[in-house]
Amino acid sequence: MKRTAHLLTVTLCSAAFLASCSQAPAAPEQAATPDQASTAPAVSVRSQILDLAQQPELQDPDIQRILRDNADDAALLERLQGKRPTEGPALQAQGLSGRALYTYGVATGSVSYYWNERAAPNYSGLNWGYDGCSVPQWILDRSETARTYKAKFHQPCIVHDFGYRNASAITSNWAVGQGYRLLVDQAFGRNMDRVCAGVSNYFSRVKCYAVSYAFEKAVTLGGFNKLDL
């Protein structure tokens, strides 16, 4: 999955700096009136993510970069909280062949569905080859996070490879293909999130969701010219 390389470099290796500020002692709390409670501002996305980033269990440099560099992204907060939808949109059937719909279903389905269909495909001529999560060796040499999640997300990467390598079964139009690609990227994220959801330790699960976000962002921003059309 060579398309992840550049954006993973940016996400996992970019410098991050956040100035710290001292705070004045808090005034004694007073009970809020109903009017005050109704108009109290919600805690911002940024505040919630940066508060989480301060936890001692999340001080890995790569995790810190992901959290702090994307602290304003509500999609990251949703991811970290395990609230992302588990199902994606169905592809509109109008004008599409059964082969195209089948390909889309495999490309955006679960890992188990992929392997079931690979064992007995409904259509011939599809490309079931894969290279998994292709992270450059120099990143693997410096980043334990990259090494860990390259292995942990190997199966979701396989399904993602299928989606990109069989885009021509969906369309020959580059622009239409980009819309299809985004759906495949979102499915990639959901499959990674399924892996993360099975992690029992809370902070380990948060780390997993953070890297899932980074991997999906990498392919979404960097995969526009990688489809096999």
In the chain, the domains with their CATH numbers are 2-12+45-222 (1.20.90.10)
Q: Which pLDDT score, from 0 to 100, does residue 13 have?
A: 43
Q: Which pLDDT score, from 0 to 100, does residue 90 have?
A: 66
In the structure encoding, which two tokens stand for residue 224, read together?
């526009």
- Whether the Cβ atoms of residue 168 and residue 203 lie closer than 8 Å to each other: no
What predicted TM-score, i.e. pTM, was given to this entire model? Answer: 0.81
| d(C-alpha 67, C-alpha 52), whole Å | 8
Average pLDDT across the chain, whole number: 83
Nearest to 72 by CA among 42, 53, 49: 49
pLDDT digits (tens, 9 = 90+) for 78-127: 999 999 877 777 666 567 899 999 999 999 999 999 999 999 999 999 99
Q: Which pLDDT score, from 0 to 100, does residue 220 have?
A: 92
Tokens 């490879």 belong to: 161
pLDDT interval class at 196 (50, 70, 90): very high
pLDDT digits (tens, 9 = 90+) for 7-53: 444 344 432 222 222 233 344 445 445 555 455 457 899 999 999 99
- Whether the Cβ atoms of residue 63 and residue 48 lie closer than 8 Å to each other: no
Q: Which pLDDT score, from 0 to 100, does residue 39 have?
A: 52
Least confident of 63-67, 172-176, 221-225: 221-225
DSSP classification of residue 214: H
Q: Mean of the pLDDT values across residues 120-144?
A: 90
pLDDT interval class at 198 (50, 70, 90): very high
Q: Which pLDDT score, from 0 to 100, does residue 139 have?
A: 82
Nearest to 158 by CA among 106, 197, 210, 205: 106
SS3 32: coil
**Residue 103: how many CB atoms within 10 A of its CB?**
27
Q: Which pLDDT score, from 0 to 100, does residue 11 have?
A: 44
In the structure encoding, which two tokens stand for residue 66, read together?
């992901």
